[in-house]
Amino acid sequence: MQQNIRNIAIIAHVDHGKTTLVDAMLKQSGVFRENQAVAERVMDNNDLEKERGITILSKNLSIHRNGLKINVVDTPGHADFGGEVERVLKMVDCVLLLVDAFDGPMPQTRFVLKKSLDLGLKPIVVINKIDRPGSRPEQVVDMVFDLFCELNANEDQLDFPIIYTNAKAGIAKAELNEESADLEPLFSLIQDKVSPPSGNPEAPFQMLVTSIGYNDYLGRIATGKVVNGVVRTGQTIALVKRDGKIEKGRISKLIGYQGVAQVELDDAPAGDIVSIAGFEEVGIGETFADESCPEALPSIAIDEPTLSMNFSINTSPFAGREGKFVTSRNLRDRLMRELRTNVSLRVEETDNTDTFRVSGRGELHLSILIENMRREGFELSVSKPEVIFRDIDGTRCEPMENLIIDVPEEHQGTVIEKLGKRKAEMLSMNPMDGINRLEFTIPARGLIGFRTEFLTDTRGTGVMNHTFNEYAPYKGPIAGRSNGVLIAMEDGETAAYALFTLQDRGTLFVDPGVKVYEGMIIGENAKQSDMVVNPCKGKKLTNVRASGSDDAIRLTPPRVLSLEQALEYVNDDELVEVTPTSIRLRKKLLDANARKKYDKNK
């Protein structure tokens, strides 16, 4: 049985086609009936994944083909969810490294490839999107080889097999000039080149927990690869905790995968990927073992967070109007629940019982958590993201990012100038059909608030990707936002008449008829200083009609900030108020006089 199992993970940069390739593999393996309606990106089963078109959580599935069971793990492509990738690589014996035939290796490709090479895995390189206009598969293969050399791959890893695919059409080719109608060359390559899982089926049972799920009926469900022995439903096993404590329990359900569906199993051999239910408290990196000789497997080391922000209860005048969960107890319980499954997250309690310091791998990592919370009915206030500094050998160090930008030539100068002010250092510049690819190292601080500015400067034509590189000595201060804000001076409802006069002062964030409160930010000032304004002022009505003054009021559409844009925009003295229906910006101190006193005493 063990010889017929292959465990693989699909890794790639975001949007290079991992989930699309998994879809095609599922469809061609006969998992779905011929007349069955199948959604696109069937593995993206989370609402946010479907909306954004990105994979956030790694997923397991199995494909049965020609007597072979292929366990496939679809991994996230964004650096902020790298913790997911690091865990699942422990379960597999090979990775399919998916690379876009036009873009070539991108920052996240480097990140996930390094993790897999360090674990001794031998990748299969899949050059995808060979049908894309401007594709250059031969050059991309050379770029991948150079990347392997940079990452110190051994000779065995450098001798990687290559396959060319068009995942959308469900086609794979061993050579570019071959004719092909399906993914059979890919399945054959997996069968021939991927080793069966190692492990001794005769040894006592051992399994490392690499991910955690939750089911209302079964409780916590732990997933991992059976490293040694055989596991059976109803068996009494030991759980070896990280601190060495041992708990015993009985397996209430043993779950495997048939396509994307979970199925109950009677037993599973060494090498198979399964889920176990029956233990109330189980954590990632802990070991299930035979009760007679409970020995722990090496735990999983996860990279530390690089960014933190304060989550606190909503204290605005509108608190409790739109959300169901508004107390600090609700907030604490939800964050502690998230810690059980989100291994890259850290939550610390602060001196203030209503505030929690939450640390993660990046803005997207934390904003996904906030977005999920607001959809669940939570109200909270969030501070500006701050990078986490470290003291290394007596030197203050900060996280540095590897930044790759694809930008048309006409906008290149502006982008380089802006990045220079943010302490970025250019490493290379490569022209590609009218678009230049620029590579930089930049402090993580320098990227906070840059994305919105970058899209404006490049008229939406620029593409930027970044991933954590290393901790390096502190680069010095970086100037923050250059503009002040427009702050409402009273509670009320915005009036078109007032907004018409205010729009000359800067850019508005609100429409007419929006409820506001004192201290709420309603726009960006054209000047550097903050300005307190009255957006609720109505027109004084008289019975005399004045020629010219009663013309129709024309308002410029407001700039509506998304959650990520709002988090990037705020300064240290401001907060983002997040509720199920609204995202508002506000000052920490709502009263104008209190703000003046605070500024004087600073």
Q: Could you list the residues known to form a binding site for GTP, using ranges.
A: 15-20, 128-131
DSSP-assigned letters across all residues of 493-514: E--HHHHHHHTTTEEE---TT-
The size of the chain, in residues, is 602
Q: What is the Cα 3 distance to its own chain's centre?
A: 35
Whole-number Å distance between alpha carbons of 65 and 88: 23
DSSP letters, 442-457, are: EEHHHHTTHHHHHHHH
Query: How far is the C-alpha of 524 from the C-alpha of 517, rounded, in Å?
Result: 17
Q: Is 581 helix (H, G, I), strand (E, B) or coil?
A: coil
Give the Cα separation of 152 and 149 in Å (integer).
5
Q: Point out which residues pair with 349 in neighbouring strands.
A: 356
- How far from 25 is each of 13, 17, 55, 471, 511, CA to CA, in Å? 19, 12, 17, 40, 48
Binding-site residue ranges: 15-20, 128-131
**How far does CA 372 lie from the centroid of its chain?**
13
Tokens encoding 291? 């009760």
Q: What's the CA gap between 4 and 2, in Å, rounded?
A: 5
CA–CA distances in Å: residue 530 to residues 6, 468, 523, 526, 594? 61, 34, 10, 9, 14
What is the DSSP track for 104-147? -S-HHHHHHHHHHHHTT---EEEEE-TTSTT--HHHHHHHHHHH
Name residue 222's beta-bridge partners: 212, 276
Q: Which helix (H) or strand (E) holds 321?
A: none
- What is the helix, strand, coil percentage profile of the chain, to 5? 25, 30, 45
> In angstroms, what is the C-alpha Rg of the chain?
27
Which class for 487: exposed (0-12), middle (13-18), buried (19 or more C-beta within 10 A)?
A: buried
**How far, in whole angstroms, is CA 568 from its chain's centroid?**
16
Spatial neighbors of 336 by CB under 8 A, at least 6 apart, are 347
Q: What backbone torsions phi and psi does residue 434 show, to the nearest 5 degrees?
A: 85, -10
